[in-house]
């Protein structure tokens, strides 16, 4: 019968003699102990914390996936909500940003815990992940929508979807549904992401799924047959940054603390709101009917004028799809269009504008597109230098619709209110003030239908995004860009280009 260790008496000595019988092993045992002690001392050498590593290298490494909501390469360089947020943090630390692009969200956690990256971005908090990484408090909370197809019976509760619901491979949401709705029958498709599932719904292949509300609004522009039945209660997607495992929770980590402080400040000062508007704020504006009609006209009318838009784009360094989006918003690509206010042509130029742009015939599509492009660039150039891309584009579009003087008036009103006059999310509010009596005494150009300009810009942004998607070789990825976005100096470690499903959080907001 094997011995057991019972204490400091004979039993313990007997056990030791069983493990190391005979005195001849004494020197070998001592050598093993010495080697083990040396290895232990080697591993106990103090390693610098993450903040020190970043400061010494001058580089912040952030792991994420390639997707519409995180990071992607636009026509002029890296873009994405998570990319811009991480870039701001790197700038606050005075270091460069390096994006580490991995194939899926599980790989984000692996990259962080292995030391390949200091931060994981594009993750939602979930109990399973909470045990593997340390999350910051969430900085963005988004509802989840139940999505179905037009003309199908509208679901109003989860029970209506039982047996019809298909989810992406996301254990957090599936586990939540099993726990909260044990009678609900659904399928988990481990081969598809959320965007693919929405495409299948639009094509009639499956009945319903659940998706992040921002992603739903974006995809409704591409698939006008998608509908939202209801918003789930008791669950939201909570986005947060991830740091190396929870074992470090008792150790001082300056980078983790600085990240929390940065995110809290970014939220309190409106930075996160600005970024959210930049990438998702215009998504739901177009509506189902408008999106379907636009897609129809892309095939029916655009081919007649596409070469003129492309020619102007090449000549003046503007994405032709943005010019085409403006043309559709102005005239629905009707070269003979005219309004009661005597604006004409595809780009709907006034007489005065046409004269300044040396346009002889506003109904001539080539002249109209060329003149409208030069006018837009002129407006953009006249804006204050403090207005940076991509917001500079939206300011110029508002001026195209409303007049530059009114846009400058709106900036003045923002200054009086103590708000940043250089970002679109604020200008959008101030343009609406131009029709309110109490503000007019503080303007130079008086009353204006500013809300109309806001809708105008939002529609163009939506049309532009649809054109970007329809003319892309990779339609499964949403890659919006702006007229004057500049390439970033930041690099990215490229991994597999895989569009993965958004994560689900079942925790409540921390701030």
Whether the CB-CB separation of 240 and 262 falls below 8 Å is answered with: no
Q: Among all chains, which residue has been given the structure tokens 């019976």?
A: 153
Report the alpha-carbon distance of residue 511 to residue 255 in Å, rounded: 19
Q: 313, 290, 305, 323: which is closest to 400 by C-alpha?
A: 323
Give the DSSP letter of residue 509.
Answer: P
Strand-strand pairing, 119-124 and 226-243: antiparallel
DSSP assignment of 126-139: -HHHHTTSEEPPPS
Q: 359, 335, 362: which is closest to 346 by C-alpha?
A: 335
Number of continuous H segments (helices) and E segments (strands) in the chain: 21, 12
Give the DSSP letter of residue 204.
Answer: T
Here the tokens at position 21 are 């019988």
Report the alpha-carbon distance of residue 406 to residue 413 in Å, rounded: 11
Report the alpha-carbon distance of residue 75 to residue 92 in Å, rounded: 26
Report the alpha-carbon distance of residue 431 to residue 409 in Å, rounded: 9
Whether 82 is catalytic:
no
Report the alpha-carbon distance of residue 277 to residue 139 in Å, rounded: 15
What secondary structure, in 3-state letters, does 248-297 show? Answer: HHHCCCHHHHHHHHHHHHHHHCCHHHHHHHHHHCCCCCCHHHHHHHHHHH
Report the alpha-carbon distance of residue 153 to residue 160 in Å, rounded: 9
272-278 CB contacts, 8 Å cutoff, 24+ apart: 272/85, 272/139, 272/140, 273/425, 274/423, 274/424, 274/425, 275/81, 275/84, 275/85, 276/81, 276/140, 276/214, 277/424, 277/425, 277/428, 278/81, 278/84, 278/390, 278/391, 278/424, 278/425
Whether the CB-CB separation of 101 and 65 falls below 8 Å is answered with: yes
Here the tokens at position 447 are 């009353």
Report the alpha-carbon distance of residue 105 to residue 122 in Å, rounded: 8
- HSE-CB at 172 with a 13 A cutoff on CA atoms is 23
Active-site pick, 82, 195, 330, 485 = 330
Taking CA 198 as the corner, what is the angle to CA 195 and CA 200, rounded to the nearest 5 degrees? 115
Strand-strand pairing, 226-243 and 186-189: unpaired
Report the alpha-carbon distance of residue 326 to residue 363 in Å, rounded: 16
Active site residues: 330
């Amino acid at each position: 019968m094997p011995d057991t260790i019972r204490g400091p008496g004979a039993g313990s000595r007997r056990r030791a003699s069983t493990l190391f019988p005979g005195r001849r092993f004494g020197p070998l045992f001592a050598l093993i102990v010495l080697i083990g002690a040396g290895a232990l001392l080697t591993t106990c050498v103090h390693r610098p914390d993450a903040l020190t590593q970043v400061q010494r290298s001058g580089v912040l490494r952030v792991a994420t996936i390639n997707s519409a909501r995180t990071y992607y390469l636009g026509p002029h360089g890296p873009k994405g909500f998570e990319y811009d947020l991480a870039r701001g943090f790197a700038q606050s630390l005075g270091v460069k940003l390096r994006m580490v692009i991995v194939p899926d969200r599980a790989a984000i956690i692996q990259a962080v815990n292995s030391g390949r990256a200091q931060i994981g971005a594009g993750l939602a908090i979930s109990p399973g992940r909470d045990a593997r990484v340390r999350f910051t408090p969430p900085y963005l909370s988004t509802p989840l929508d139940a999505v179905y197809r037009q003309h199908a019976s509208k679901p109003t509760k989860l029970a209506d979807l039982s047996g019809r619901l298909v989810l992406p491979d996301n254990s957090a949401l599936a586990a939540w549904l099993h726990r909260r709705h044990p009678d609900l029958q659904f399928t988990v498709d481990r081969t598809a992401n959320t965007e693919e599932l929405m495409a299948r719904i639009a094509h009639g292949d499956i009945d319903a799924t659940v998706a992040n509300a921002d992603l739903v609004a974006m995809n409704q522009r591409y698939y006008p047959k998608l509908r939202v039945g209801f918003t789930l209660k008791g669950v939201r997607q909570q986005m947060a940054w991830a740091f190396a495992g929870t074992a470090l929770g008792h150790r001082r980590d300056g980078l983790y603390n600085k990240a929390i402080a940065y995110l809290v400040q970014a939220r309190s000062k409106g930075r996160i709101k600005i970024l959210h508007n930049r990438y998702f704020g215009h998504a739901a504006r177009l509506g189902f009917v408008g999106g379907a009609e636009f897609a129809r006209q892309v095939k029916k009318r655009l081919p007649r004028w596409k070469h003129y838009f492309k020619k102007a784009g090449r000549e003046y360094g503007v994405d032709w799809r943005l010019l085409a989006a403006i043309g559709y918003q102005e005239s629905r690509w009707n070269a003979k269009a005219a309004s009661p206010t005597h604006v004409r042509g595809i780009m709907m130029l006034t007489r005065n504008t046409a004269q300044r742009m040396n346009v002889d015939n506003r109904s001539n599509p080539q002249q109209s597109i060329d003149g409208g492009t030069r006018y837009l660039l002129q407006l953009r150039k006249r804006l204050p230098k403090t207005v940076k891309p991509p917001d500079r584009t939206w300011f110029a579009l508002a001026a195209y619709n409303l007049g530059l003087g009114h846009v400058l008036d709106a900036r003045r009103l923002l200054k009086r209110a103590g708000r940043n006059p250089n970002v679109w999310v604020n200008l959008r509010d101030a343009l609406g003030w131009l029709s309110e009596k109490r503000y007019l005494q503080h303007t130079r150009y008086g009353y204006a239908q500013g809300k109309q300009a806001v809708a105008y810009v939002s529609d163009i942004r939506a049309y532009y995004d649809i054109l970007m998607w329809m003319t892309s070789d990779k339609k499964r990825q949403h890659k919006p860009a702006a007229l004057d976005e500049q390439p970033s100096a930041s690099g990215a470690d490229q991994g597999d280009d895989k569009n993965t499903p958004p994560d689900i959080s079942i925790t409540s907001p921390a701030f």
